[in-house]
Chains A and B, each alone.
Chain A
């Protein structure tokens, strides 16, 4: 082990500090070492923060969203995004007054096409922690505070614009975070369960069982996932309630997702089986179950966490793709894929390019989870140089 690489924030000027740092490394446990190594990976740290932020948004979607997911307004369909102005000119000079401009509707006399023109005489003040629609946070607390929105309740403030029913795109994207981000988590949870059990059995016992499970994984992996998912999700009855469809979709996603995790677990088991400490435990007469749970599982947890993080983006992308095609989650459920369905053809994107905004959310989420998983994978084995 190279000592100098691990002590965090040490300039190494004085000898005593170096000795101190070295003692810290020697007595630090595995998780501390992982944390120190992970912390050096700037991009992964940033990605970790973004990921946490996304889950916080998902958790408090009602608070973050200016409107509820279903609020619509027939007078404001396909309203373009409004840009925020922070300063306002008054007689006394510039003052800090965040606001957006209102819109005037112009109807083309020939085609009856409605277009919006920015009306700079109408000033709609916006603010943080404003009072707006009432909602029930987690179905428990009745609140009316929104993180951002129109300072005066009822003003048509839509920062990212509205869709064909006049629903706020920003609010719906925020609500979509909840479903899209959790589909990944639940799906990976199920995959992990299958992957750890089957991969563990495969790696620990070996022989015929291992061979069978490996062949099954090979067959599953050689199947083209999306056509298969299309077939399976087409089988979900239209009459099912949204919650059941949601779980059916996550089960479908994890049906193929577990294979990657099972391979990872199997590989770990195979390499750990011959480690000295496992053999020592066995010679000491420790029971099989205890060897697995007390000695082997802890030394591969960090690797499993890393692979799980890397598996989530794939799930999010798959859910988005299926819902986009209309065979995954369906309205009234709000997920990023369901929202992107509104932008399914060139015509609707040409009229309202801001409908692609949920796509940006997908890209950010997937990028963040990929960087985070990469950093975790690098840090997962702190004992290796």
Chain B
């Protein structure tokens, strides 16, 4: 087991390296840089000497690999992600709280998906081809087909139209900039349910189908018949073995559900105006705030890679056969 984990962590290093290069190249792709877009937006003419000084300070004239080296070595040695041009703050001051909220939302959504999808999947498999099964299947497919942001818009409209409240944001106005306190946490929790449901629909729909298919495979196996022949009660029979075996692929499904969640939350957060990484990334990309955008892409990628790793280790722990492959 330890050897397996060690091997996976060793694999992680080149992956992270490549991801950091991709993140840096992506933010370098747009023509021009932040200063150029600043100058094009500024009403009065900008002093060329001043621009040159800024350019020098941020190292914007150096070759791309030198810039990359400065950026990545700063992150590794000092945890310094560079400076945000637009906010005029260190990137690390801007991102940690938002990254934390992204993690909280993703994990809560994951829990929501599991709690909803597993019982429904079991029901759907046991009551195969009944009305209930069809209803669940159709709802599941519709959940998959509705884009998150559209669902967010529709729910916001319903809340606005019929309950007369606006449901955007993660905090009530008085708590947005407040220090962390118990009240603020409670306020956060009271706002979280909507994004969690919106983000969870697609994943729930997908996992119900996976759970149903897995359990159907198991239920048709001979050991189930054998157990039934020995007079085991249906409920005990179901939960003793088939459900447990069917859960295994569900753990590995986390490996793709988690990246999809983090990535999907980007757009939903913009629509719902959540204080997560999505809206910040969106703005920084538009402003060509390169260190902020690059750091966000890097950190969100690292987050998904770690999520994948954790789910793989979890799977290897539950199902020892995996380690041998």
- Could you give, for residues 236-270 of chain B, a 1 whenever the CB lies within 8 Å of some chain A CB and a 0 otherwise? 00000000000000000000100110111011001
- Could you give, for residues 117-161 of chain A, a 1 whenever the CB lies within 8 Å of some chain B CB and a 0 otherwise? 000000000000000000000000000000000000000000000
Total cross-chain contacts (CB, 8 A): 127
Give the distance to chain A from B151, nearest Cβ to Cβ, in Å: 9
- Could you give, for residues 50-82 of chain B, a 1 whenever the CB lies within 8 Å of some chain A CB and a 0 otherwise? 000000000000000000000000000000000
Are A321 and B31 in touch, CB under 8 angstroms?
no
Smallest CB-CB separation from A318: which chain B residue?
B147
In the assembled complex, A232 has its CB within 8 A of some CB on chain B: yes
Smallest CB-CB separation from B277: which chain A residue?
A227
In the assembled complex, A253 has its CB within 8 A of some CB on chain B: no
Set B157, B264, B266, B297: member contacting A349, Cβ < 8 A: B157
Identify which of residues 318-346 in chain A touch chain B, using a CB-to-CB cut-off of 8 Å.
Answer: 320-321, 324-325, 327, 340, 343-344, 346
Given A222-B15, A222-B301, A363-B145, A227 contacting B150 (CB threshold 8 A)? no
Of A94-102, A267-275, A364-372, the stretch lying at the interface with chain B is: A364-372
Are A350 and B149 in touch, CB under 8 angstroms?
no
Q: Given the complex, which residues of A lie within 8 Å of B223, measured CB to CB?
A: none
- Could you give, for residues 74-110 of chain B, a 1 whenever the CB lies within 8 Å of some chain A CB and a 0 otherwise? 0000000000000000000000000000000000000
- Could you give, for residues 204-242 of chain B, a 1 whenever the CB lies within 8 Å of some chain A CB and a 0 otherwise? 000000000000000000000000000000000000000
A7 to B305, CA, bound (A): 49
Are A222 and B308 in touch, CB under 8 angstroms?
yes
Q: Given the complex, which residues of B lie within 8 Å of A223, measured CB to CB?
A: 19, 22, 259, 301, 304
Q: Given the complex, which residues of A lie within 8 Å of B31, measured CB to CB?
A: 237
Are A232 and B26 in touch, CB under 8 angstroms?
yes
Q: Given the complex, which residues of A lie within 8 Å of B160, measured CB to CB?
A: 346, 349-350
In the assembled complex, B41 has its CB within 8 A of some CB on chain A: no
- Could you give, for residues 276-290 of chain B, a 1 whenever the CB lies within 8 Å of some chain A CB and a 0 otherwise? 011001100110000
In the assembled complex, A27 has its CB within 8 A of some CB on chain B: no
Q: Given the complex, which residues of B lie within 8 Å of A344, measured CB to CB?
A: 271
User: Majority SS of interface residues in chain A?
Assistant: helix
Q: Given the complex, which residues of B lie within 8 Å of A363, measured CB to CB?
A: 142, 145-146, 150
A232 to B27, CA, bound (A): 8
Are B145 and A350 in touch, CB under 8 angstroms?
no
Give the distance to chain A from B158, nearest Cβ to Cβ, in Å: 10
In the assembled complex, A356 has its CB within 8 A of some CB on chain B: yes
Give the distance to chain A from B30, nearest Cβ to Cβ, in Å: 5
A227 to B153, CA, bound (A): 20
Give the distance to chain B from A142, nearest Cβ to Cβ, in Å: 37
In the assembled complex, A225 has its CB within 8 A of some CB on chain B: yes
Residue among B14, B147, B267, B300 with the most chain A CB within 10 A? Answer: B147
Give the distance to chain A from B297, nearest Cβ to Cβ, in Å: 5
Smallest CB-CB separation from A224: which chain B residue?
B263
Smallest CB-CB separation from A239: which chain B residue?
B31
- Could you give, for residues 8-25 of chain B, a 1 whenever the CB lies within 8 Å of some chain A CB and a 0 otherwise? 000000110011001100
Q: Given the complex, which residues of B lie within 8 Å of A359, measured CB to CB?
A: 146-147, 150, 153-154
Q: Given the complex, which residues of A lie within 8 Å of B277, measured CB to CB?
A: 227
In the assembled complex, B161 has its CB within 8 A of some CB on chain A: yes
In the assembled complex, B29 has its CB within 8 A of some CB on chain A: yes
In the assembled complex, B125 has its CB within 8 A of some CB on chain A: no
Are B305 and A350 in touch, CB under 8 angstroms?
no
Are A231 and B304 in touch, CB under 8 angstroms?
no
Smallest CB-CB separation from B15: which chain A residue?
A219
In the assembled complex, A226 has its CB within 8 A of some CB on chain B: yes
Identify which of residues 284-343 in chain A touch chain B, using a CB-to-CB cut-off of 8 Å.
Answer: 313, 317, 320-321, 324-325, 327, 340, 343
In the assembled complex, B293 has its CB within 8 A of some CB on chain A: yes
A317 to B201, CA, bound (A): 15
Smallest CB-CB separation from B265: which chain A residue?
A226
Are B285 and A234 in touch, CB under 8 angstroms?
yes
Q: Given the complex, which residues of A lie within 8 Å of B190, measured CB to CB?
A: none
Residue among B142, B153, B154, B161 with the most chain A CB within 10 A? Answer: B153
Given A231-B26, A232-B29, A235-B29, A370 contacting B145 (CB threshold 8 A)? yes
Extra contacts, 11 of them, besides A356-B154, A366-B144 (Cβ < 8 A), are A219-B18, A222-B305, A227-B266, A227-B296, A231-B285, A232-B26, A232-B29, A234-B285, A320-B147, A346-B153, A370-B144
In the assembled complex, B35 has its CB within 8 A of some CB on chain A: no
A371 to B144, CA, bound (A): 11
A384 to B55, CA, bound (A): 66
Q: Given the complex, which residues of A lie within 8 Å of B141, measured CB to CB?
A: 367, 370-371
In the assembled complex, A382 has its CB within 8 A of some CB on chain B: no
Q: Given the complex, which residues of A lie within 8 Å of B297, measured CB to CB?
A: 227-228, 231
In the assembled complex, A221 has its CB within 8 A of some CB on chain B: yes
Q: Given the complex, which residues of B lie within 8 Å of A227, measured CB to CB?
A: 263, 266, 277-278, 281, 296-297, 300-301
A356 to B158, CA, bound (A): 13
Are A221 and B256 in touch, CB under 8 angstroms?
yes
Given A227-B263, A346-B168, A356 contacting B286 (CB threshold 8 A)? no
Give the distance to chain A from B142, nearest Cβ to Cβ, in Å: 7
Q: Given the complex, which residues of A lie within 8 Å of B259, measured CB to CB?
A: 221-225
A215 to B13, CA, bound (A): 12
Query: 6 pairs across A/B with beta carbons < 8 Å?
Result: A221-B259, A223-B19, A226-B267, A228-B263, A230-B285, A346-B168
In the assembled complex, B156 has its CB within 8 A of some CB on chain A: yes
Set A325, A353, A371: member contacting B270, Cβ < 8 A: A325
Are B156 and A349 in touch, CB under 8 angstroms?
yes
A221 to B312, CA, bound (A): 14
- Could you give, for residues 349-385 of chain A, a 1 whenever the CB lies within 8 Å of some chain B CB and a 0 otherwise? 1100100100100110011001100000000000000
Given A224-B266, A227-B296, A234 contacting B286 (CB threshold 8 A)? yes
Are A230 and B281 in touch, CB under 8 angstroms?
yes
Q: Given the complex, which residues of B lie within 8 Å of A218, measured CB to CB?
A: 15
In the assembled complex, B172 has its CB within 8 A of some CB on chain A: no
Residue among B23, B263, B278 with the most chain A CB within 10 A? Answer: B263
Are B147 and A321 in touch, CB under 8 angstroms?
yes
Are A225 and B263 in touch, CB under 8 angstroms?
yes
Are B308 and A224 in touch, CB under 8 angstroms?
no
Give the distance to chain B from A78, nearest Cβ to Cβ, in Å: 15
Are A228 and B26 in touch, CB under 8 angstroms?
yes
Are B293 and A324 in touch, CB under 8 angstroms?
no
Set B153, B161, B262: member contacting A343, Cβ < 8 A: B153
Give the distance to chain A from B275, nearest Cβ to Cβ, in Å: 16
Set A222, A237, A320, A350: member contacting B304, Cβ < 8 A: A222
In the assembled complex, B323 has its CB within 8 A of some CB on chain A: no
Give the distance to chain A from B216, nearest Cβ to Cβ, in Å: 13
